[in-house]
Amino acid sequence: MSGTNTGNGTSIGSNGSPIVASMQCAACGRIRRVSAEHLGRKLRCQCGNVAVASEQNLIPATAASSNARLSPQEKPLASTAESSDHVELPSDDIALIESLRESCRQVTAQLSSVIIGQQSIIEEVLISIFCRGHVLLTGVPGLAKTLLIDSISKVLDLQFRRIQFTPDLMPADITGTEVLQEDRSTGTRNFRFVEGPIFSNMVLADEINRAPPKTQAALLEAMQERHVTVAGQTMALPSPFFVMATRNPIEQEGTYPLPEAQLDRFLFNIVVDYPESADEFRIIRQAASGKRPELRKLLNASQILQLQEAVQNIPVADHVIAYARDLVQATRPHRPDAPGFIREMIQWGAGPRAGIALVTSAKARAILQGRLHVTTGDVASVALPVLRHRIVTTFNADASGISRDDVVRQLLQEVRPKRPRE
């Protein structure tokens, strides 16, 4: 299906017939040139997907020419007969992503010099940022959870505030409050709203499970609606806006478990584990030297907003969306087609917000991996941080020592992606 260029702008097929248009694979997103002789025939892509070259699923020559500078692995998805509800990625978005991708690599490199041995954690946090999502970091003390968030705010040049959650923290300490102020020139008194630390681009809710439920609930409106309401007045929060929360999983005394409704507001629940032996050696050596790498500002708020918009515009093939849907529905034990181990190990499954999170975060992961098309592998790669806090295990699972991660991993083995329609 490959063709050559004659030098005068006309593409010629391998047998000398003119190429009339291009065709896109619904499975991997590759765009291939199609000559007149291929119309009506079944064509096989490099990924193994087979589709019929018909006039209904061809991309016009003008649209294909705008993508000629991209390699096959970087071809953006375009409208096809199978995914007609998606549009082709605009060329200006492609240029924006290309210009910012190198900056993202530099961001990862800088953070890796400070946060040693947590490459996957850094990638997951960046994915959540590009998806407008909030993150819950779960790990024992001393694993650089707070340092990671503080370092990200410096590299991304975002306004950053830290809130230490304690049992005596009040909702007004987060959202702000009204104070009575006197105008000395007129002698009149009026109320003036004093903004709380929630009015920031990036908010660190440190040890979020130490505050009582009333205080935790103060974040619900901010996380979902991105505005707060105080004394009947609704005020918008800065954009971009992220809540990065930390939680200690082993200390239960003096803590308040997060309700399921609030856990569902977090795009990712990222488990921060102990470093490997070689990484821990580097951590100790760097701390003992007293020298910390200097962080440079690489992306600003405007660039992050542009990248977030570009992520939203990336189209997704229908079979990728179907895979995300099947994963989420398989977590619900009350469905008649639920796997047997789900009925035994899961008490409550994930809701529709989990499917949205799977697809959205898969888009951002594809960009970070250097691709402009989304695969089912992207969905599977983000399944753990998306689903682990959205399912509730049964007493049998807890008594058997089976964690939520174990259930999700077994689910990924049970639910396999379906082949796209030919």
The count of residues in the chain is 422
Question: Mean pLDDT across the stretch 164-193?
Answer: 84
In this predicted structure, the answer to whether residue 161 has a pLDDT above a threshold of 60 is: yes
Distances (CA, A) of 389 to 240, 276, 411: 24, 25, 15
φ, ψ of residue 221 in degrees (nearest 5)? -65, -40
What's the pLDDT at 62? 38
pLDDT tier, 48 (very low <50, low <70, confident <90, very high otherwise)? low
pLDDT for 386-397, tens place per residue? 999 999 999 989
Residue with tokens 């951590």: 283
Could you name the CATH architecture of 93-289? 3-Layer(aba) Sandwich (3.40)
Burial (Cβ within 10 Å: 0-12, 13-18, ≥19) of residue 59: buried
Residue 298 burial (CB count, 10 A): 19
pLDDT for 334-347, tens place per residue? 988 888 899 999 99
* CA–CA dist 207, 248 (Å, integer): 7
Residue 185 burial (CB count, 10 A): 6
What's the pLDDT at 124? 92
* CA–CA dist 349, 326 (Å, integer): 12
Q: Among 30-44, 103-117, 170-184, name the one with the lowest average pLDDT.
A: 30-44
Higher pLDDT, 257 or 70: 257
* CA–CA dist 332, 350 (Å, integer): 7
Q: Among 46-55, 167-176, 389-398, 409-418, name the one with the lowest average pLDDT.
A: 46-55
φ, ψ of residue 157 in degrees (nearest 5)? 55, 55
Cα 301–Cα 303–Cα 308 angle in degrees, nearest 5: 95
* CA–CA dist 342, 175 (Å, integer): 40
> Percent of the chain scored above 70 by pLDDT?
77
What's the pLDDT at 306? 84
* Distance in angstroms between the alpha carbons of the first and the last residue of the chain: 18
CA atoms within 13 A on the CB side of 344: 11
Homologous superfamily assigned to 314-414 = Magnesium chelatase subunit I, C-Terminal domain (1.10.8.80)
Of 38, 298, 34, nearest to 157 by C-alpha is 298
Would you put residue 302 in left (φ > 0), alpha (ψ -120 to 50) or beta? Answer: alpha
Higher pLDDT, 409 or 295: 409
Distances (CA, A) of 165 to 43, 112, 170, 215: 59, 27, 9, 9
What's the pLDDT at 386? 96
In this predicted structure, the answer to whether residue 221 has a pLDDT above a threshold of 80 is: yes
What's the pLDDT at 92? 63
Q: Among 89-103, 147-161, 314-328, name the one with the lowest average pLDDT.
A: 89-103
pLDDT for 243-278, tens place per residue? 999 988 876 667 888 888 888 999 999 999 888 899
pLDDT tier, 363 (very low <50, low <70, confident <90, very high otherwise)? very high
| Mean pLDDT, all residues of the chain | 79
- In the chain, where are the structural domains located? 3-88, 93-289, 314-414
* Total-model pTM: 0.74
Question: Mean pLDDT across the stretch 11-27?
Answer: 52
What's the pLDDT at 117? 84
> What's the CA dihedral at 226, 232, 233, 234 to 10 degrees?
20
pLDDT tier, 23 (very low <50, low <70, confident <90, very high otherwise)? low
Name the DSSP letter for residue 210.
G
Q: Is the peptide bond before 240 cis (omega within 30 degrees of 0)?
A: yes
